[in-house]
Amino acid sequence: MPHRPDFWGIEPEWMRYFIYGILTLALLVMLIRTFYQARLWWKVGQPEKRFDQPFKRIGRMLNQVFVQQRILSQPYAGIMHALMAWSFFILFLGTPIGIVNAYVFPGFLKGQIFLIFKLIMDLCVIVFLIGAGMAAYRRIVIRPKKLTLERRFGFTLVLLTLIILTGPSIEGARLAVLSIEENITYGSWMPVGWAIAQLFLNSGSTVDTVHLWHTIFYYSHVGLVITLFLTLPVGTMIHVITTPLNVFFSKLQPMGQLSAVQEDSAHNLILADRLKNLTWKQLMDGDACTECGRCQEVCPAYAVGLELNPKKLVLNIRDALHRDGALIIQGTEPSIPLVGGTVTTNVLWECTTCGACIKECPAFVDHISDIVSMRRHLVNEGEVDDMLQTSLANLGRYGNSFGKSGRMRAGWAKELEFEIKDATKEPVEYLWFVGDYASFSPTLTETTIKTAKVLRSAGVDFGILYDTERNAGNDVRRVGEEGLFEVLVEQNSKALQKADFKAIVTTDPHTYNTLKNEYPEEVINGRPILHYSELLDQLIASGKLKFNKKLDLKVTYHDPCYLARYNGVYDAPRRVIHATGCELIEMPRNREHGFCCGAGGGRIYLDEGTMPERPSENRIREGVTLKDVSTFVVACPKDISMFQDAVKTTSLEDKLNVKDLIELVYEAL
């Protein structure tokens, strides 16, 4: 009867204990080295609570580690990785199962069970080799720009492949001997091993020669596994430990909710000016990074040739930790500073906080948390450019970045033939939080007026906060001015608490995000926060908003980062577009993969600087590739400014017409 022989052909008997011993030792060395490296996270980094909701965390980890949902969102690399990971994992389980067979339930692997076990194992070998082949092809032939093309990755691939290949080679040699000596018939259950056995049999080797080969394969296999264990903590395979951990500890709060500045026991702010003022989780991110480059590939700053590369950002912090971590633990300040050294200030200011990197990262690295932490340090030191300084000073004094009197906030409403209710004076169903750009930007007031008219024609009972509204603070927070963000939240909270309303509606996705995810619960009281696209969608569905015209335009739609990627509002604006009679043609980068206009994260307050191409221009060029599309629809006031500029600077004004969603609705009334 077929069964799993333990240590077949390995003599003398003490040898098996020696192998157990040396493997255990290697495993211990691996664990100690890993621990030695990982200790830097908490020895250097600041405390941060990431142990809440353990079941949710375990669920997320299992999904990403075993199902590999994020990894599989990229077809080639995803399948490649999943094939190797799943097969290697099952093959890796082969050894503990063998140990169970030898010592716990002796001989349970026999007969049909044994054959099925072996069949699965051998199929996994084939699966692994397909994955490894894809990986080799990708690394040698395709050579994507986003990959780190360094030898250490090749080393890992060769090492793993050799481990996988020596497994069935041992089996093959054994099967060859058994074929000669016992004339076994179950060989085809182990297709890979059996194929190798045939090579031995056809070569006419003697039993002794095959035995010798068996021994060579066996010790090579053990040696390779030991090599894997010993090199794992310093090689690319460390990710099998760090990445699942990083997924487990990843942020559970909404993506659009940043953490507040931490304070030490003496109430001093902890600002990320140096490595030790990053949190342990921020440091763990670097070791969890697999260098796959997906963040780099989707980053708008990187795409237009700026210095920021999210992958490099994370890896530079990792390398600094590995280089200086031990020194920092001893209390020595490293010679290269974090901000201005490891990470340049340009890199920090170039980020639009669009979140594409975060959503793309299969290791759940939070790049934006690093960037905002370090920006907070820069702002605290007053290291801001002139434009940002002026914007922040204006926001502090007047509550808007335009430096206009707060009393003028509702100036646009004077052009309406009806009066908008003051929500602080009379109850309204919907409180319209208008936002800075829609209120003050001279090019946008027309759109704002149309929004008011549409809401009125749909019979919506709405009001505004008039001059008690301030900038909601979303971008102020992301630019790193946490204190000012708190002031703005306090001022708006006061106004909101004075008002009587059932829901808040905004046209600005940035305002939407911070109201929804960052404003105090006692102010919002669980009342819905709606983007106007969501409200319009509801009004159309309930029949309150009816169209008399069908626009019959071919349009494309640009997903605002803070509406789409951050808050998952993809379908409402699309349904509204359909309802106006327009045909929607999607851009290649849409929905979660939408490409940022370049204005987010406070970039709109900063001096733009020079760049080969603006992200907004890049996006417009994507828009014009769509056949017969005449209109580029946006759902964010800042997007109108950004893209109306971009069609001019790219001289594509006659090809694409930039329109706000509300303009389509207004025209179709």
Scanning 18-26, 36-44, 75-83, 381-389 for contacts with other proteins by CB under 8 A, the matching segment is: 381-389
Q: Is 436 in the site for other proteins (CB under 8 A)?
A: no
629 forms part of the interface with other proteins (CB under 8 A): no
Of 238-267, binders to other proteins (CB under 8 A) are 261
CB of 58 to other proteins, least distance (A): 37
Of 398, 432, 501, 566, which one interacts with other proteins (CB under 8 A)?
Answer: 398
CB under 8 Å, gap of 24 or more: what pairs does 416-421 form? Answer: 416/449, 416/452, 416/453, 418/456, 420/452, 420/462, 420/463, 420/464, 421/461, 421/462, 421/463, 421/464
**Residue 544 in the binding site for other proteins (CB under 8 A):** no
Site for other proteins in 267-296 (CB under 8 A): 269
Among 31, 79, 157, 487, binds other proteins (CB under 8 A): 487
Question: Rounded to whole angstroms, what are the CA distances from 462 to 123, 300, 428, 637?
Answer: 64, 37, 5, 19
| 467 binds other proteins per the rule CB under 8 A | no
Closer CB to other proteins, residue 229 or residue 605? 605
Distance (Å, whole) CA 591 – CA 574: 10
Backbone angles phi, psi at 464, to 5 degrees: -125, 170
Selected from 73, 215, 220, 380, the binder of other proteins by CB under 8 A is 380
According to the binding rule CB under 8 A, does residue 157 interact with other proteins?
no
Judged by beta carbon, residue 446 or residue 613, the one nearer other proteins is 446
- With beta carbons less than 8 A apart as the criterion, state whether 486 and 452 touch: no
The answer to the question of residue 102 lying near other proteins (CB under 8 A) is: no
Tokens 């099952």: give the residue.
90
Sequence-separated (6 or more) residues with CB below 8 Å from residue 153: 139, 147, 236, 291
Q: Which of 123, 326, 393, 624 binds other proteins (CB under 8 A)?
A: 393
CA 618, distance to chain mean position in Å, is 22
Question: According to CB under 8 A, which one of 190, 357, 365, 484 is a site residue for other proteins?
Answer: 484
- Residue 250 in tokens: 């990843």
Nearer to other proteins, 194 or 398 (CB): 398
396 binds other proteins (CB under 8 A): yes
3-class SS letters over 30-46:
HHHHHHHHHHHHHHHCE
Q: What is the nearest approach in angstroms of other proteins to the Cβ of residue 476?
A: 10
Q: Binding of other proteins at residue 653 (CB under 8 A)?
A: no
CA atoms within 13 A on the CB side of 417: 3
Residues 551-580 binding other proteins (CB under 8 A) are: none
Smallest separation (angstroms) from other proteins to the CB of 483: 3
Q: Is residue 539 a contact residue for other proteins (CB under 8 A)?
A: no
Q: Which residues pair with 422 in a beta bridge?
A: 464
Lay out the site mask for other proteins across 416-435 (x = CB under 8 A, - = otherwise). Answer: --------------------
The Cβ of residue 252 has, within 10 Å, a number of other Cβ atoms equal to 12
b/e map 39-48, b = 16+ CB within 10 Å: ebbeebbbeb
Helices (H), 338-470: 345-350, 356-360, 367-380, 386-398, 436-440, 445-457
Minimum CB–partner distance for residue 379 and other proteins (Å): 5
Least separation in angstroms between CB 478 and other proteins = 15
Count of positions on this chain that bind other proteins (CB under 8 A): 24
Residue 382 binds other proteins, judged by CB under 8 A: yes
Nearer to other proteins, 455 or 606 (CB): 606
**Minimal distance, residue 519 CB to other proteins, in Å:** 18
- What would the two tokens of residue 601 be? 């994260």
Cα(632)–Cα(652) distance, rounded to whole angstroms?
12
Please tell me the distance from the alpha carbon of residue 255 to that of residue 517, in angstroms, as a whole number.
9
Task: Name the residue among 454, 661, 430 with its Cα closest to residue 547.
Answer: 454
Distance CA 351, CA 313 (A): 11
Kindly tell me which of 372 and 635 has the beta carbon lying closer to other proteins. Answer: 372
**What CA dihedral angle connects 16, 18, 20 and 22, to 10 degrees?**
-150
Taking contact as CB under 8 A, which single stretch among the options 375-383, 527-535, 601-609, 657-665 is the one that binds other proteins? 375-383
Give SS3 for 157.
helix
Among 122, 481, 534, 559, binds other proteins (CB under 8 A): 481
Task: Rank residues 280 and 398 by Cβ distance to other proteins and give the closer one.
Answer: 398
Residue 667 near other proteins by CB under 8 A: no
Query: Which of 73, 209, 227, 389: binder of other proteins (CB under 8 A)?
Result: 389
Give Cα separations from 445 to 176, 497, 622 (angstroms). Answer: 83, 27, 28
By the rule CB under 8 A, 344 interacts with other proteins: no
Question: Using CA atoms, how far apart are residues 418 and 424, in angstroms rounded to an integer?
Answer: 18
- DSSP structure class, residue 67: I
And the tokens for 33? 């080295």
As measured in angstroms, the least distance from the Cβ of 273 to other proteins is 13
For other proteins, the closer CB: 211 or 404? 404
CB of 272 to other proteins, least distance (A): 14
Residue 39 contacts other proteins per CB under 8 A:
no
The DSSP output letter for 554 is: E
**What one-character-per-residue DSSP string does 255-293 give?**
TT-PPPPEE-TTS-EE--SSGGGSBHHHHHHHHH-----
**Contact stretch for other proteins (CB under 8 A) within 146-154, 347-355, 402-410, 539-547:** 402-410
Q: Which is nearer to other proteins, 387 or 523 (CB)?
A: 387
Contact between residue 123 and residue 91 where contact means Cβ atoms under 8 Å apart: no
Residue 392 as a binder of other proteins (CB under 8 A): the answer is: yes
348 binds other proteins (CB under 8 A): no
Q: Is 486 in the site for other proteins (CB under 8 A)?
A: yes
- Which residue stretch of 229-237, 331-339, 394-402, 617-625 sits at the interface with other proteins (rule: CB under 8 A)? 394-402
- In the complex, the smallest distance separating the C-beta of residue 386 from other proteins, rounded to whole angstroms, is 7
> 554 has which bridge partners?
583
For residue 379, state whether it binds other proteins (rule: CB under 8 A). yes
* Dihedral sign (CA 148, 367, 236, 53): negative
Binding of other proteins at residue 387 (CB under 8 A)? no
C-alpha to C-alpha distance for 160 and 221, rounded to whole angstroms: 10
**Contact with other proteins (CB under 8 A) among 482, 559, 617, 660:** 482
- Tokens 């893209």, residue? 643
Q: Supply the minimum distance, in Å, between the C-beta of residue 571 and other proteins.
A: 39
Q: Which stretch binds other proteins (CB under 8 A): 19-27, 218-226, 422-430, 476-484?
A: 476-484
Residues that bind other proteins (CB under 8 A): 261, 269, 379-380, 382, 384, 386, 388-389, 392-393, 396-398, 403-405, 407, 481-484, 486-487
